[in-house]
Chains A and B, each alone.
Chain A
Amino acid sequence: MSAPPAVDGDAQVTTHVSLRSGVYADSVKLMQVSQAIGARPGVTAVLVAMATPLNLELAAGMGLSPDGPATPDQLLIALRTTDDAERDAAVAAVEAALAAREERGSAQAVPPRTIGFALAEAPQESVLAIVSVPGQYAVAEAMDAVAAGRSVLVFSDGVPVEHEVALKRAAHDAGVLIMGPDCGTAIVSGVALGFANVVRPGPVGLVAASGTGAQQVSCLLDTAGVGVSHVLGVGGRDLSTAVGGLATLDALQMLEEDPATERVLLVSKPPAPEVAERVAATSAALTTPVSSAALSADSPDLTAAVEALLREMGVAVPTWPTRPGADRSVPADAVLKGFYSGGTLADEAMLVAAPVLGDVRSNTPLRPELHLGADFAARGHVVVDFGDDALTVGRAHPMIDPTLRLEAISALATSGEPAVLLLDVVLGHGADPDPAGALAPAIGALELPVVVALVGTEGDPQGWSAQADALAAAGAAVFASNSAATRHALDLIGASK
Chain B
Amino acid sequence: MTSLLTGPPAVVAAGVDVFSDALRVQGVDVTDVDWRPPTIGSADDLTQLALDPRRAAANRTAVERVLAAGSVLTDVLPAHEVIGLTGRTLLHSGPPLTWETASGPMRGALMGACLFEGWAETAEEAEQLLASGGVELDPCHHHRTVGPMAGVTSPSMWMWCLTDPADGRQAFSNLNEGLGKVLRMGAYGPEVVERLHWMTRTLGPVLQAAVRSRSEDPLDVKAVLAQMLQMGDEGHNRNRAGSLMTLRDLSPAIVEVDAPSGDIAAVLRFIGGNEHFFLNLGMPTAKLAMDAARDVPGSTLVTVLARNGTEFGVQTAGTGDRWFTGPAQTPVGLFLGDYGPDDANPDIGDSAIMETYGIGGFAMAAAPAIVRFVGGTVPDALATTERMYQITMTENPAMQIPVLGFRGSPTGIDVLSVARTGWLPQINTGMAGRVAGTGQVGAGLVQPPVECFQGAVAALAEESRTALA
Contact = CB atoms under 8 A, between A and B. Distances in A.
B2 A149 contact: yes
Interface stretch (B25-33, B94-102, B106-114, B186-194): B25-33
Interface string B292-324: 000000000000000000000000000000000
Given A150-B2, A156-B15, A188-B4, A124 B29 contact: yes
A312 interface: no
A117 B390 contact: yes
Contacts of B405: 101-105
B215 interface: no
B14 A22 contact: no
B421 A113 contact: yes
A134 B13 CA distance: 13
A167 B26 CA distance: 29
B226 A22 contact: yes
B11 interface: yes
Interface stretch (A191-199, A279-287, A342-350): A191-199
Interface stretch (A57-65, A171-179, A331-339, A361-369): A171-179
A170 B53 contact: yes
Instruction: Determine which residue in A22, A131, A176, A194 has the highest number of CB atoms from chain B within 10 A of its CB, and name it.
Output: A22
A117 B391 CA distance: 9
Instruction: Bin chain B's interface residue count.
Output: 35 or more
A367 B323 CA distance: 54
Contact of B10 (A105, A126, A136, A194): A126
Interface string B395-412: 001101001111110000
A131 B220 contact: no
A415 interface: no
Contact of A177 (B4, B50, B51, B219): B4
B469 interface: no
B407 A155 contact: no
Given A124-B10, A132-B16, A113 B35 contact: yes
A99 interface: yes
Interface stretch (B36-44, B118-126, B151-159, B427-435): B36-44
Contacts of B11: 127-130, 191, 193
Nearest to A100: B406
Interface residues of A, number: 86
A29 B406 contact: yes
B392 to A, nearest CB: 10
Identify which of A126, A151, A258 gathers the most chain B CB atoms within 10 Å of its CB. A126
Contacts of A111: 32-34
A327 to B, nearest CB: 38
Interface centre among B15, B26, B216, B417 (most CB of A within 10 A): B15
B226 A430 contact: no
Interface in A136-186: 136-137, 139-141, 143-145, 147, 149-151, 155-156, 163, 166-167, 170, 174-177
Chain A contact residues: over half helix, strand or loop, or mixed?
loop
A122 B9 CA distance: 12
A23 interface: yes
A440 interface: no
B131 interface: no
A85 interface: no
Secondary structure of the B contact surface, majority rule: mixed
Given A113-B423, A114-B33, A191 B8 contact: yes
B386 to A, nearest CB: 4
A108 interface: yes
Nearest to A145: B12
Nearest to B27: A191
Given A126-B9, A140-B47, A430 B4 contact: no
A119 to B, nearest CB: 6
Contact of A24 (B16, B22, B50, B223): B223
Contacts of B165: 21
A461 interface: yes
Interface string B222-241: 11101100100000000000
A188 B9 contact: yes
Contact of A112 (B6, B10, B33, B223): B33
Contacts of B2: 125-127, 149-150
A106 interface: yes
Nearest to B397: A99
B448 to A, nearest CB: 18
A141 B36 CA distance: 11
A112, A130, A191 — most chain B CB neighbours (10 Å) = A130
Contacts of A127: 2, 9-12
Interface in B365-412: 379, 382-383, 386-387, 389-390, 397-398, 400, 403-408
A50 to B, nearest CB: 9
A69 B50 CA distance: 48
A71 B2 CA distance: 45
A134 B37 contact: yes
Nearest to A250: B4
Contacts of A174: 1
Contact of A191 (B28, B37, B38, B230): B28
A130 B13 contact: yes
Contacts of B35: 113-114, 133, 141
Given A106-B386, A137-B47, A140-B50, 18 more contacts: A24-B230, A25-B406, A108-B379, A110-B390, A113-B423, A118-B12, A124-B10, A126-B2, A126-B6, A128-B10, A133-B35, A134-B37, A189-B9, A192-B26, A193-B23, A400-B18, A429-B26, A430-B22
Nearest 5 pairs between A and B by C-beta?
A132-B15, A102-B405, A136-B43, A149-B1, A73-B223
25 contacts: A21-B70, A21-B165, A21-B220, A21-B222, A22-B222, A73-B220, A101-B405, A104-B407, A111-B32, A113-B34, A117-B390, A126-B10, A127-B9, A127-B10, A129-B13, A130-B12, A137-B37, A137-B47, A140-B50, A150-B12, A189-B8, A192-B22, A194-B19, A430-B18, A430-B22
Interface of B: 1-16, 18-20, 22-23, 25-26, 28-29, 31-38, 43-44, 46-47, 49-51, 53, 56, 70, 165, 216-217, 219-220, 222-224, 226-227, 230, 379, 382-383, 386-387, 389-390, 397-398, 400, 403-408, 416-417, 420-423
Interface of A: 21-26, 29, 69, 71, 73-74, 98-99, 101-119, 121-122, 124-134, 136-137, 139-141, 143-145, 147, 149-151, 155-156, 163, 166-167, 170, 174-177, 188-194, 229-230, 254-255, 257-258, 260, 396, 400, 429-430, 461
